Amino acid sequence: MISRKGFISIKLIALMMSGSLTLSAFGCSKKEAKNKSKISEQTSITEAADTTDVKTPTVTEPEVSSETTEETTQAATSTSESIPLMTESPRTKSSFTEYIPYVLPPITKEMMTPNQIDIFYRFCEAVLANEESFECDNYSDLETVFYLVVRTCCPYAYQVATIQESWEVSGNVVKIQYRGDLEWRKSKYDGFKNAVEDLLQNVLKEEYSDFENALVLFEYFTDNYVYDFEHNGQDPENIGAYIPLIRKTGVCQNFAAAYTFVLLQTGCDVDNMEGALSETEATGHEWNIIRLDGQCYMIDTTWGLGRNDLRYFLMTKEDRQEDGQYFIGDMDVGLLLKNYGDDRYLCNDTKYSELHQALEYTWNPEDNTISLRQFDVNGELKEYTTFKYE
- Sheet containing 385-388, strands listed edge to edge, beginning at the edge strand earlier in sequence: 2-4, 360-364, 369-373, 385-388
Q: Which residues contact 88 (CB under 8 A, 6 or more apart)?
A: none
- The answer to whether the CB of 236 falls within 8 A of the CB of 164 is yes
Q: Which helix (H) or strand (E) holds 275?
A: strand 269-276
Instruction: Give the pLDDT confidence score for residue 335 in this predicted structure.
Output: 93
User: Read out DSSP for 54-79?
Assistant: PPPP-PPPPPPPTTT----PPPP---
pLDDT digits (tens, 9 = 90+) for 231-251: 876 677 788 999 999 999 999
Q: Which residues contact 4 (CB under 8 A, 6 or more apart)?
A: 219, 308, 309, 360, 361, 362, 363
**Residues linked to residue 4 through DSSP beta bridges, in sequence order:** 361
> What share of the chain in percent tops pLDDT 70?
72
pLDDT over 70 (residue 288): yes
**Helix (H, G, I), strand (E, B), or coil: what is residue 245?**
helix
Nearest alpha-carbon partner for 11 in 198, 253, 318, 260: 253
pLDDT digits (tens, 9 = 90+) for 317-355: 888 887 766 666 678 999 998 888 788 899 999 999 999
Rounded-to-10 torsion of CA 227, 231, 235, 239: 20
Instruction: Give the pLDDT confidence score for residue 377 in this predicted structure.
Output: 72
Nearest alpha-carbon partner for 11 in 275, 199, 216, 198: 275
Compute the C-alpha angle 318/322/328, nearest 5°.
60
- Report the number of secondary-structure helices (H) and strands (E) in the chain: 11, 14
Considering only residues 81 and 260, tell me which one the structure prediction assigns the higher pLDDT.
260
Q: Which residues contact 175 (CB under 8 A, 6 or more apart)?
A: 132, 133, 167, 168, 169
Most confident stretch, 8-12, 107-111, 168-172, 234-238: 107-111
- The answer to whether the CB of 288 falls within 8 A of the CB of 305 is no
Considering only residues 256 and 328, tell me which one the structure prediction assigns the higher pLDDT.
256
Find the length of the chain: 390
Instruction: Give the pLDDT confidence score for residue 388 in this predicted structure.
Output: 95
Q: Which amino acid is at 80?
A: S
Nearest alpha-carbon partner for 196 in 159, 226, 154, 148: 154
Burial bucket for residue 16 (CB in 10 Å: 0-12, 13-18, 19+):
exposed
Compute the C-alpha angle 252/258/260, nearest 5°.
100
pLDDT over 90 (residue 71): no
The H-assigned helical ranges of 165-324 are: 182-202, 210-224, 242-247, 252-264, 301-304, 317-324
Q: What is the mean pLDDT of the chain?
A: 78
- The answer to whether the CB of 20 falls within 8 A of the CB of 382 is no
User: pTM to 2 decimals?
Assistant: 0.79
Instruction: Give the pLDDT confidence score for residue 166 in this predicted structure.
Output: 60
Strands 133-135 and 369-373: unpaired
What does the pLDDT average to over 222-228?
96
Choice among 16-30, 172-186, 310-324, 344-358 with the minimum mean pLDDT: 16-30
Question: Going from the N-terminus, what domains does the chain have, and what CATH number goes with each?
Answer: 2-51+205-357 (3.10.620)
Instruction: Give the pLDDT confidence score for residue 329 in this predicted structure.
Output: 63
**Helix (H, G, I), strand (E, B), or coil: what is residue 244?**
helix
The H-assigned helical ranges of the chain are: 106-111, 114-128, 139-144, 151-153, 155-160, 182-202, 210-224, 242-247, 252-264, 301-304, 317-324
Rounded Cα distance between 18 and 168, Å, is: 10
